[in-house]
Amino acid sequence: MSSTTIKQLILGLCLLPDLALADSLNQANTSWILTSTALVLFMTIPGLSLFYAGLVRSKNVLSVLMQCFAITCVVSILWLAGVYSFIFANGGEWQKFIGGASKAFLPDINTTVLTGDIPETVYFMFQMTFAIITPALIVGAFAERMKFSSMLWFSSLWLILVYMPVCHWIWGGGWLAELGTLDFAGGIVIHVNAGVAALVAALVLGKRKGFPNTAMPPHNMTMVVTGAGMLWVGWFGFNAGSALTADGRAGMAMLVTHIAAAAGSLTWMFIEWRRFGKPSVLGIVTGMVAGLGTITPASGFVGPSGALFIGVTAGVVCFYATQYVKRTLKIDDSLDVFPVHGIGGITGSLLTGVFVSADLGGFGLAEGVSMTHQVSVQALAIVVTALWSAFFSFVILKLLDKWLGLRVTVDQEMQGLDTVLHEETGYVDL
C-alpha cells in the first residue's frame, strides 16, 4: 500500500471532512450513512440506556434512563452551537490543535453542500451520534450517586474541554492525525477518552454507600440483555459506517466487528465458567461489549484473523481488569466503564498498529512505516488522550463539587435517585 493511499485511509476513513470533496452526490453512500446514523443513535437510546438501567438497582433505573436521554438532547444542541465546527472546520494557523468557528450553527448549509460525496447534513448527524454516546458512557461510572444537575454540567463541559479537542487532533486533521494515528471508529477518541474520565469520576465521587461489602446486583437482567443486543446491532453503524462508503471496506469493518464481539463474549464466558463454576449472562454480554470496544479502532484496518485475536484478547484483558479494579483496588466504577471501555480501547488501539500489517491480514502499513513505529504512534496518542482526559475531568468535577456539589446525600442515595431527583418510580406495585 502506497504512502498516498495510507494517508487517505487515515484522513479519509478517520472522518476528516475536507478531504477531496466530490463533485456529485453518491446516493448509495448517503443511504448507508443515513442508516448508520440511526444505528449509532440506537446504541445510546435505547441500547446503552437499557443496558445501564438494568445493571443498577431498581430504585435508580429511571435516573439512568433520564441521564442518557438528557445527554442526547444537550449534546445535540452544543454540537450545533459550535462543537462540530471547532472539530471539523478549518482552524487556520491553529489547525493542528483546534478547528474554527465558521460552521457554528451551520450558516448557509443546504442539502447540496457535500462532505466527500455525502451531504454535510448527513455527516453532521453521523458525527453527532458519536459525540452523544461518548459522555453517556461515563454515566456508568457514577451511577446511583451523582446529582442530575451536576451530571448535565459535567457532560456539557467535558464535551467541550475534552472530547472536542481530542476528536479534532485525531479525526479533524490535528497533530495526532498528522503523525499517522490509526483510530477508525473511536478506540481512542471515544473509549480511551470516556474510560479514563470514568475512572477519574469514580475516584472523585467516591464509593456508593455499602460498596464493596453490600451486594448490588443488577435489578433486571432481561433489560440488560435487551440493551446489549441493541448495542451489538447498533455497533455495525458505529464501525462499518465509519468507512463513509457503501463498499467492501465497510463490509470488512462489519465482519471484523461481529467476529470480535463473538470472540470477546465466549472468552469472558469460559473464563468465568472455569473460575466460578457457572457461566453468567452478565459475563457473556459484558464480554461482547469488551470485544466491540476493543475492535473499534482497528475495524477498518484489520482482517478476520486479526479480529479474532483482538476479540479473544479483549475478553481476557478486560475480564481481569474488571476484577482488579473492583476487587483489588476497590474502586467503585459502578458499571465497569474503565476496565471494559478504557482498557479495551487501549488494548485495541495498540493492537491496531500490529494487525494493520499486510503480513497479518490487515490493509498494510504506510510505505516506510514499521510496525514498531506505528505502535509507538498509537501509544503516544493513547497517553496524550488519557492525560488530557484525566486532567480536565478532574478539574471539571472539582469545580462542580465546589459550586453545586456532586453527590446526593447519604439518605437520598439510600432512598434512590428516581424518587429523590425525579419524583417518579420505575415500577409501580399494583
Of the chain, the percentage scoring pLDDT greater than 90 comes to 90
Instruction: Retrieve residue 329's grid coordinates.
Output: 483496588
- pLDDT tens digits, one per residue of 377-430: 999 999 999 999 999 999 999 999 999 999 999 999 999 999 999 999 999 875
- pLDDT tens digits, one per residue of 340-351: 999 999 999 999
Flag whether pLDDT at 112 surpasses 80.
no
Pairing state of beta strands 114-115 and 118-119?
Answer: antiparallel
Residue in 305, 292, 318, 314 with CA at minimum distance from that of residue 356? 305
CB-CB contact of 292 with 265 (8 Å):
no
pTM of the predicted model as reported, rounded to 2 decimal places: 0.93
Residue in 418, 424, 426, 417 with CA at minimum distance from that of residue 209? 417
Among 144-148, 320-324, 366-370, the minimum mean pLDDT is found in 366-370
Flag whether pLDDT at 97 surpasses 60.
yes
pLDDT category of residue 60 using cuts at 50, 70 and 90: very high
- Domain residue extents for the chain: 3-422
Calculate the alpha carbon distances from 381 to 75, 167, 183, 349, 377 in Å: 25, 11, 10, 9, 6
- pLDDT tens digits, one per residue of 135-194: 999 999 999 999 999 999 999 999 999 999 999 999 999 999 999 999 999 999 999 999
Give the mean pLDDT of 51-75.
Answer: 97
Q: Which pLDDT belongs to residue 114?
A: 83
Q: Which pLDDT belongs to residue 14?
A: 46
Q: Which pLDDT belongs to residue 22?
A: 60
**Residue written as grid cell 478531504:** 19
Among 100-114, 251-265, 329-343, 366-380, the minimum mean pLDDT is found in 100-114
CATH class of 3-422: mainly alpha
Flag whether pLDDT at 123 surpasses 70.
yes
Rounded Cα distance, 280 and 257, in Å: 23
Flag whether pLDDT at 113 surpasses 60.
yes
Residue in 130, 168, 169 with CA at minimum distance from that of residue 33? 130
| DSSP at 60 | G
Other CB atoms within 10 Å distance of the CB of residue 31: 13
